[in-house]
Amino acid sequence: MIDHSEILKPVMKKFIPYLLFSATTLHTVLDVSSVMAMSCGSHSDKAEVVCEEGDTDCEEKISAATIN
């Protein structure tokens, strides 16, 4: 009878480094992409809003946004 564990040992010795490499690469890619996504969202806060003269609703929204 064939002992399957003896057949799989060389295969697993070749497979495990690739598995570890792919896991660390995936972890790095996901970690960097979350940082990039957060930094891109902060750029929209720097847009300047110009209100028409006498528009109190617009002026109140701007003052509330600058306080936060």
pLDDT digits (tens, 9 = 90+) for 11-57: 888 899 999 999 888 888 777 665 555 555 555 555 677 788 888 88
Q: Give pLDDT, residue 41.
A: 52
Q: Is the pLDDT higher at 63 or at 2?
A: 63
* Distance from the first to the final alpha carbon of the chain: 74
Please give the C-alpha separations between residue 25 and each of 18, 19, 28, 47, 57, in angstroms, as whole numbers: 10, 10, 5, 36, 50
